[in-house]
Structure 1
Amino acid sequence: MRAQIKRTLVFIALISALGGCEDQQEHGSLGLAVLKSDLVQAKAEQDYRVLVFASRRLVIPGFEDENVKSLKAQCGIRYWKNEGDVMYSVTARENRSTKYEYASKYNKAVYALCKQSN
């Protein structure tokens, strides 16, 4: 009986560890290297549009308190593909949070490029 409990605890620990690794890889996919690469590409293509999510109200990550109309007119907007404002699962909400943080950093950097070009 004791050995069975021990095996069960080891199994639970392994599953938890694997889940933690998966989460880190998923969140790491939008890390600093991807951000730098995307900014280099934006600069090369002179595409200084800010990232937004399709939703009922236009919110620009990183510029929540700014005048959306003037920012949209100055730099333009680009919708994040396959992202709406309805999220059904906890995982979808966590992924959105990660993407929102990425978009916020991207938008601040690309806005600086947009201002330089205008």
Structure 2
Amino acid sequence: MKQKSTMLKVISILLIIFGGLSLISGIYSIVMRGVIEKTAASLGIAIPSTLSYVLTLVGAFVFLAAGIIGTLYKSKQSVLILGIILAVFEVFNIVYATMTAGFAPLNLIALIWPLLYLWGWYQSN
């Protein structure tokens, strides 16, 4: 029988929670896009691009998928694949944020999720 580590279980549950919150936030942002753009224009800040809205939804689905597969833990290979997808998404997100808003060291904190997820995968049997 496959046995997942406690770390993988905890991180997977957190990914499901944050993925769900991100999905709600992304849908709300798309619905309120007109208000957000007017507010940003009146404040003189950059209007969020369509890609930023898409990245929010894609990120939410990646987090949800990784969390669900991590909690089910049917095969070690599927958890690894989603861990790699999660890591690639976070790296892309950091690069995109750096290109649009400039580099901020706090952006690197986002790499904690895939690292902990993959560490939990590594500890599992």
Q: TM-score, normalised by structure 1?
A: 0.33
Q: Which has the higher contact order (CA 8 A, sep 6+)?
A: 2
Higher helix share: 2
Q: TM-score, normalised by structure 2?
A: 0.32
Higher strand share: 1
